[in-house]
Chains A and B, each alone.
Chain A
Amino acid sequence: MGEKGITEPRASAFSAEDLVFRYYEKGKRNILDHVSLSVKAGKITVITGGSGCGKSTLGLVLCGLLPENGGFLESGEIRLFGIDVKELSASGRALLFSVMFQNPDLQFCMDTLRREMIFCLENLRTAPEKMDGIIDETARFFGMEALLDRKLQTLSGGEKQKGILACLYAMKSRCLFLDEPFANLDPGSAHEILEGLKKVKEDGRTVVAIDHRLDYWLPYADEIVILGEGGRVLATGITKDNISEYRELFLREGVYYPEERKGVSEKPDFNEAEDTVEVNIRALFRQDVKRKRKRPGRDAENVGDSDSVKNAVLRNINLKFKAGSITAILGRSGVGKTTFLMALLSRAAFSGEIRILGRPIEEYRPHELYSKVGIVFQNPANQFITQRVEDEIAESIRIWEPGISEEKCRERACELLESYGLKRYRNYSPFMLSQGQQRRLAVLSVLSGNQKILLLDEPTYGQDRRSMDEMMRHITRKAGEEGLTVIFTTHDENVADMWADRKIYFERD
């Protein structure tokens, strides 16, 4: 197998010729429109491009998972190490090419890392007596011996993602393909994975990644490729030395241009503004507070001090958030950033006090609280209440403004969609939009109520520079004009620098 690839050491790991792909055979829009691309073997290549340009689809088509799992490939030929992908079986393909996806929770078939590795090796028909050796060697290589037999649900996102990398390594695939591998990770875990990838490359294997965030990759990548609309290749051969020549292109395509994030608009003076959110928490807990309990704050207090305080995620948080301010919350994965947002929605137990617009949080009824505090989650698809993009906004306007006339409601919905660049999708189902578009829609629908406080959980996740900027510009305007208080969590220091008036770091003590 792969004789061609072996005889030509500098050959391409994969090459695609004139790919035309769409999700529906009869559909008009080609997701991939005559794409040709080849990637060199033995290198780290990063493919980037704006949201919805078809990067992820390209990845799935290249490794043969599409159109096998849906979609329609009109034309094109893909060769993995010189072999036509159609001729390969799943296990043959996996030997050449294996994939790491975005979400670490949706990639495991087994319940421990050791079992998962065994599963992978069994698929490849590895002799059973060799498996222990391979597993031990892999675990040593990545320094994760201690994690092998732990239940997967007890591992952090970063550990799981690293576990996947270990599985792919153990499979000895010649090319590792990563689809936004850091989307759910903090910078520390991301760098650990990058170091792992560097070792994988030194081992003679090829690494191909799809990512918006080039700042992570720049020191490691041998080549960066930019895709434009329809997945067409706009530029290849970009490295950290010549990237400045491509700055224009990056900005035009709305891709993050690394190292250029500073230079924030003038920060307003908040001394005069009122405090919309006041937090004085002694201990914050992860467990959910059932809505029926009236006083979440008190509940936690009753649990007792000695034991429960030990279980607290975070302790002694004393913060005030002013109207019109934008605050970024940073910290490692699992430090309790999301839990903190949950507490502001009265959804996490805490001891201490939280005041929203001057009133203690436990005095609010849920519906009343949500009319003051809006949140956009990591997975924006969860928040859609209708099956059409336009209805989504219109419905939201109607919920918070009962009695608004149908005409006016539609008109406003259209205006809002226009301002977010989503108007041409107004007849689509929200579920058909790309991740970035979905988030913009979610923000839009949450803001179309008249909430005074907006919480954003990882707004950068799955978004390119342009959509992130557009979204944050809109939010900043709202904050300035209407005194909206914005609190967002992120792993991206630069986004925090760029858009937040204040950065807060959460740390476990």
Chain B
Amino acid sequence: MVNKRMMPKKEKMGLAQKLNPSVKACTVLAIVLILAFQYNTLLNITVLFASLIMLIFFTNTKKSSVFKILIPALLAAAGMFFMGLYFSKGGSVIEELGSSQGKTAVSYAVQTAAANNLGNALSLGSRILAYAGLGSFFVLSTDPEEFIRSLIHQMHLPVKFAYGILAAFHLVPEIRREYDKIKLAFCTRGVKVGGLSPKVIFVMLVNCIRQSDNVAMAMESKGFSGDEDRTYYSVPSVGPWDILFFVLCTGGVILFIMLSK
């Protein structure tokens, strides 16, 4: 469990948000790996719904942000589905269709190919959805700062890296604002700029270098040197709940696989 002291008086937090982020990441990764070697549509769909249920009931995430992630995932899943349907090992539907041209009905070969492939296509498509579910569960229920802290302690990520990532992470909105400003500045100078103009990007990069220099100097002037010799206000630890979560999730998936065989 993450030390409670670290949590500012934010809005109420859900159970899933109190889990140790590293353990959560490991759990998600383990499930992703297991799913990668399984062609089990039902399992994929169960994982998707389990992630969504966790997100909706055990975190305080807005439902709209869940759907924002799921919509592009649905498109990707559909793409995967059709790819699996048409181009699969053995007789592909398209090939069979080609060879059966001119015949009155859809040939038996096409039907078998389609039936075979449908299973494959469904499991491939649903796997993408399961991944999207797992991914959004992790991203939406984890505070980036907590995750980095946990990586330092549980995964031994070098401190220099960790705080560098955090500083860069907080610079992103600044960079985006900067990009809009530069674009407007160029427009007002009478220069036509398209969607991603190299000129704008050049200026943005120059500014980014300056900004990152500035942030780095500010960090250094606050005593940050990048060596490990520092104290920690709170050390995220792995508690019994975290282990239980890991065991329940991965165990559940493995059990599901065994039962469905």
A and B interact: yes
Which A residues fall within an 8 A CB radius of B?
60, 63, 65, 68-70, 89-91, 93-95, 97-99, 101, 103, 105-112, 114-115, 118-128, 131-132, 148-149, 152-153, 167-168, 171, 177, 288, 345, 347, 366-367, 370-371, 373-375, 377, 379, 381-385, 396, 399-400, 431, 445-446, 449
Given pairs A103-B214, A122-B230, 12 additional interface contacts (CB within 8 A):
A69-B220, A90-B223, A91-B224, A122-B232, A123-B222, A123-B223, A131-B233, A373-B188, A379-B181, A379-B207, A382-B207, A446-B188
B134 to chain A, nearest CB (A): 25
Minimum CB–CB distance from A143 to chain B (whole Å) comes to 19
Which residue of B8, B189, B217, B234 is within 8 Å of A383 (Cβ)? B189
Q: A105-B174, A106-B218, A382-B181 are in contact. Are A126 and B231 (CB under 8 A)?
A: yes
Q: B217 touches which one: A69, A120, A125, A153 (CB < 8 A)?
A: A69
Cα distance, A375 to B187, chains bound together (Å): 10
Q: Are A124 and B9 in contact (CB under 8 A)?
A: no
Closest to A374 in B: B188
* 5 A-B pairs whose Cβ atoms sit less than 8 Å apart in the complex: A69-B217, A90-B224, A91-B223, A109-B219, A377-B185
Q: Which residues of B contact A370 (CB under 8 A)?
A: 187-190
A177–B216 Cα distance when bound, in Å, is 16
* Interchain CB contact under 8 A, A128 and B217: no
Contact present for B190 and A371 (CB under 8 Å): yes
- Docked complex Cα distance between A345 and B216 (Å): 35
**In the bound complex, what is the Cα–Cα distance between A68 and B219 (angstroms)?**
14
In the bound complex, do residue B145 and residue A110 qualify as a contact, i.e. CB atoms below 8 Å apart? yes
Is there an interface contact between B145 and A382, defined as CB atoms closer than 8 Å? no
Q: B residues bordering A, Cβ < 8 Å?
A: 5, 8-10, 145, 163, 166-167, 170-171, 173-174, 178, 180-182, 184-192, 199, 203, 206-207, 210-211, 213-226, 229-234
Q: Give chain B residues whose Cβ lies under 8 Å from the Cβ of A125.
A: 229-231
Q: Is the CB of A107 within 8 A of B225?
A: no
Pick from B167, B174, B185, B230: contact of A123, CB under 8 Å? B230
A288 contacts B180, C-beta separation under 8 Å = yes
Q: Is the CB of A128 within 8 A of B233?
A: yes
Contact B215 A385 (CB under 8 A): no
B192's partner among A127, A367, A396, A446 (CB-CB below 8 A) is: A367
On whether the beta carbons of B214 and A98 are closer than 8 Å, the reply is no
A-chain residues with CB within 8 Å of residue B180 when the two chains form the complex: 288
Distance A110 CA – B170 CA, assembled complex (angstroms) = 7
CB-CB nearest in chain B for A429? B206
Q: Of B207, B210, B213, B232, which one neighbours A128 at CB under 8 angstroms?
A: B232
Chain A residues positioned under 8 Å from B186 (CB to CB): 383, 385
Q: Output the least CB separation between A368 and chain B (Å).
A: 10
Contact of A94 with B221 in the complex, beta carbons under 8 Å: yes
Given the complex, which residues of B lie within 8 Å of A381, measured CB to CB? 203, 206-207, 210
- Specify which chain B residues have a CB less than 8 angstroms from the CB of A91 in the assembled complex: 223-225, 230
Query: Chain B at the A interface: mostly helix, strand, loop or mixed?
Result: helix
Q: B225 contacts A106, CB within 8 Å?
A: no
B224 touches A107 (CB 8 A): no
* Complex: A231 Cα to B226 Cα, angstroms: 32
Give every chain B residue within 8 A of A111 (Cβ-Cβ). 145, 170
Once A98-B223, A382-B182, A385-B189 are accepted as A-B contacts, the answer to whether A127 and B163 lie under 8 Å apart by CB is no
Sorted from nearest, which 10 A-B pairs have the closest CB atoms? A94-B223, A90-B225, A123-B223, A99-B221, A107-B218, A149-B8, A91-B223, A106-B214, A399-B190, A383-B185
Q: How far is the CB of B249 from chain A (nearest CB, A)?
A: 29
Which chain B positions have C-beta within 8 A of A384?
A: 203
Inter-chain contact A445/B189, CB cutoff 8 Å: yes
Residues of A within 8 Å of B222, CB to CB, are 94, 98, 109, 119-120, 123, 167-168, 171
Contacts of A107 in B (CB 8 A): 214-215, 218
Q: How far is the CA of A399 from the CA of B186 in the complex (A)?
A: 12
Residues in B whose Cβ lies below 8 Å from that of A131: 233
> How far is the CB of B199 from the nearest CB of chain A, in Å?
6
Inside 8 A of B166's CB, which chain A residues have their CB? Answer: 109-110
**B211 to chain A: closest residue by CB:** A106
| Cα distance A120–B233 in the bound complex, in angstroms | 11
CB-based nearest A residue for B167: A109
Given known A-B contacts A121-B233, A385-B186, A399 and B191 have beta carbons under 8 A apart: yes
**How far is A375 from B182 in the complex, measured between Cα atoms in Å?**
12
Closest B residue to A116 by CB, please name it: B222
CB neighbours (8 Å) of A106 from chain B are 171, 174, 211, 214-215, 218
Which of B8, B191, B203 lies in contact with A112, CB distance below 8 A? B8
Docked-complex contact A396 and B9, CB < 8 angstroms: no
**Which residue of chain A lies nearest to B226 when distances are taken between CB atoms in the complex?**
A90
User: B173 and A153: CB pair below 8 A?
Assistant: yes
**Closest A-chain residue to B219, C-beta based?**
A109
When the two chains form their complex, are residues A122 and B231 in contact, meaning their CB atoms are under 8 A apart?
Answer: yes
| A69 and B230 contacting across the interface, CB-CB below 8 Å | no
Cα separation A110 to B181 with both chains bound (whole Å): 24
**B207 contacts across to A, CB distance below 8 A:** 379, 381-382
B203 touches A109 (CB 8 A): no
Q: Are the C-beta atoms of B217 and A367 separated by less than 8 Å?
A: no
Residue of A nearest to B186 (CB): A385
**Chain B hits for A69, CB < 8 A:** 213, 216-217, 220
Once the chains bind, are B221 and A65 in contact (CB under 8 Å)? yes
Query: How far does the Cβ of A18 sit from chain B's closest Cβ, in whole Å?
Result: 24
* B233 nearest CB across to chain A (Å): 5
Distance in angstroms between the alpha carbons of A112 and B9 in the assembled complex: 12
Please give, as numbers and ranges, the residues of chain B lying within 8 Å of A152 by CB-CB distance.
Answer: 170
Q: Which A residues are CB-close (under 8 A) to B234?
A: 128
A49–B215 alpha-carbon span in the complex (Å): 25
* Chain B residues whose CB sits within 8 angstroms of the CB of A124 once the complex forms: 223
Q: CA A168 – CA B223 in complex, angstroms?
A: 10
